[in-house]
Structure 1
Amino acid sequence: MFSGSIPALVTPFRDGSLDEAAFRAFVDWQIAEGSSALVPCGTTGESATMTVDEHNRVIAICVEQAAGRVPVIAGCGSNDTRIALEHMFAAQAAGADAALVVAPYYNKPNQEGVYQHFAHLAQHCDLPIILYNVPSRTITDIGVPVLHRLAEDYQTIVGIKDATGNLGRVTAQRLACGTDFIQLSGNDETALGFNAMGGVGCISVTANVAPRLCAEFQAACAAGEWGRALDIQDRLYPLHDALFSDSSPGPTKYALSRIRPEMPTDVRLPITWPSASSQAAVDRALEIAGLV
């Protein structure tokens, strides 16, 4: 259902507001460059600092502009189960193909609470759900036993974006949930190993900046062309690293300013513009990747 290179889209802000024209052009560029699906309102999209109206508008624009050319997986996560459900309803009404729902953060629920959170969402909305497990941000982990229960109990829970950084999880989750359960890497730098162990793609930060290379990398993995995939990995690795040399998505927006000067570069507090050392790292990485 979902595979390949899937950018977690940045949100272009200009003078504090959503720049709709820039966002539409960015969606078109991503599709033209080979991205296989799009994720609006993820972490890289600064969803944490959007109003509800902005959040819904970004998803609606993405769906409208994509116009069925690629699927749209709408970011719908919240630490409040009721708010996550409202996001899912809005995304479904806009025509999104699935919801990306992060594990509930800050509250620190136990594993039964994690299960009940996602179960409630699946019980009350039939939009397909891709779980998002990123303990480095949420503290909460979606354990493999809970993942198994959810996949077994709810057909609309179709996959996971795994940003644990633990490649062993790919095999554990494959054995627990079956080969049809979609596993997408949430970390660009380990996507090669992730795919080799059974993953089918990546919800990517780097694909914002290098969509064609990321699409070619994923196509090589899917074809079992591991040597070619490794060559592209080596070319992209410095960029994977540089885009997290300061708080995300600051370095990503800086990188885009180098290759798409028409993109606005505003970030919202508490995120700030990346440091000079971060910018230098991005500059070097863009050169190594052959993007400038």
Structure 2
Amino acid sequence: MFSGSFTAVVTPLKNNKVDFDAYKRIIDMQIKAGITGIIPCGSTGESATLSHSEHDEVIAKAVEFSSGKLKVIAGTGSNSTAEAIRLSKHAQEVGCDGVLLVAPYYNKPTQKGLYLHYKEVANAINIPVVLYNIQGRSAVNIEPKTIAQLAKDCKNIVAVKEASGSLDQMSQIRLLAPEMDLISGDDALTVPIMAIGGTGVISVLSNICPKVVADLVNAMLKKDLDKANEIAFKWLPLVKAMFIETNPIPVKAAMAMMGICSDEMRLPMCSLSDEHKESLRKTLKSYNLI
């Protein structure tokens, strides 16, 4: 169901408010580059520091600005099941194509708790659900057996964004739940994940290089491994540069250098260090992006 290149789109800020003019420009960039879809209000979209009203508006504007030309999978995860349900119902009401639900963070649920959480959210809506597995941010790993059970019991749980970094775990998911779309949550692992049956990537890099990511994913979907590897290796230094500090600090800094939007963030996130700014500027120049 979810195959292709998806951008985990930033939320541009100006004077501590969402800059919807810049947001529209960013989404227009994605459309022109041939990106399949966008994910508003994910980790890259700084959902943790958006108010509930801002969260709702950012998602609604994503649907409006996409004009049916991009799939919109809204980040609606929470460590409160009730809150995740409210956010997901809103995403459904405004016309999103699906929701992305990060594993509940901080409270560290058991696998049973994870299963019950996702089942309750999925049963509360009719649109597709993408699980989001990123233990580094959520403190818990959604085990392959749990994912497979959810896919079996909840027909609208159709995909998983895998950012565990473990190809072994991803292979287990493919084995136990072959009907699910396996989506890379790591730009650097798009080729190997798609090589074992993955269907695409939810990318940070595509905020600044959407066509590069679209071309890479399209090459893998066409099983042109040589072309995909050529693209992946060429752009790997820039992929690495996007994570020299916590995401989305570097990508917002790059977007500011490229004149796309401000690098403004909300505390506790802060701007890129001066040392890393110089390094990032050199990397962007080497790709003729600035």
Structure-1-length-normalised TM-score: 0.97
Q: Which residues in structure 2 correspond to 1:22-101 (within 5 Å)?
A: 22-101=22-101
How far did residue 43 of structure 1 move?
0.3
- Equivalent position of 1:242 in the other structure: 241
Q: Which amino acid aligns with 1:130?
A: V
**Residues in 1 aligned to 2:209 and 2:56: alpha-carbon distance in whole angstroms:** 26
- Listed one character per residue, the Cα deviations across residues 73-104 of structure 1 (whole Å, up to 9, x for unaligned) are 00000000000000001101110000000001
Give 2:277's match in structure 1, choosing from 266, 276, 279. Answer: 279
Letter in 2 for 1:256: M
Structure 2 distance, partners of 1:9, 1:275, is: 22
Question: What does 1:86-235 align with in structure 2 at a 5 Å threshold?
Answer: 86-178=86-178, 180-235=179-234
Greater CA drift, 261-270 or 37-46 = 261-270
SS in 1 for 2:71: coil
Answer whether contact 1:159 1:183 (CA < 8 A) is retained: yes
Aligned residues: 290
Amino acid in structure 1 at the alignment position of 2:267: L
- Structure 1: 5+ residue runs without aligned partners? none
CA contact (8 A) 1:238 1:288 kept: no
Q: Any idea what the Cα deviations from partners look like across 1:195-245, whole Å, max 9, x if unmatched?
A: 111111110111111101011111111111111111111121111111111
Distance in 1 (CA, whole Å) between partners of 2:278 and 2:34 is: 28
CA separation in 2, counterparts of 1:242 and 1:172? Answer: 30
Whichever residue aligns with residue 217 of structure 1, its letter is L
The answer as to whether partners of 1:60 and 1:94 remain within 8 angstroms in 2 is: yes
2:104 corresponds to which letter in structure 1?
Answer: P
C-alpha contact 1:182 1:199 (8 A) present in aligned 2: yes
How many angstroms does 1:168 deviate by? Answer: 1.6
In 1, Cα distance between equivalents of 2:263 and 2:14: 7
Secondary structure class of the residue paired with 1:72: strand
Cα deviation, residue 262, structure 1: 4.5
- The answer on whether the counterparts of 1:56 and 1:90 sit within 8 Å (CA) in structure 2 is yes
CA contact (8 A) 1:8 1:45 kept: yes
Residues 99, 130 of structure 1: 8 Å contact kept: yes
What secondary structure, in the 3-state scheme, does the structure 2 residue paired with 1:266 have?
Answer: coil
Letter in 1 for 2:157: I
Aligned partners of 1:193, 1:44: CA distance in 2, in Å?
23
| TM-score normalised by L of structure 2 | 0.97
3-state SS of the aligned residue for 1:183?
A: strand
Unpaired segments ≥5 residues, structure 2:
none
Q: Matched residue of 2:37: which SS? A: coil
Q: What SS does the corresponding residue of 2:39 show, helix, strand or coil?
A: coil
Letter in 2 for 1:199: G
CA distance in 1, matches of 2:159, 2:288: 33
Tell me if structure 2 keeps the 8 A contact 1:39–1:75.
yes
Q: Tell me, yes or no, if the aligned pair for 1:245 and 1:281 is still in contact at 8 Å.
A: no
What do the CA deviations read for 1:106-154 (whole angstroms, capped 9, x no partner)?
A: 0101100000000111122112100000001111110011011000001
Structure 1 runs, 4 residues or longer, greater than 4 Å off: none
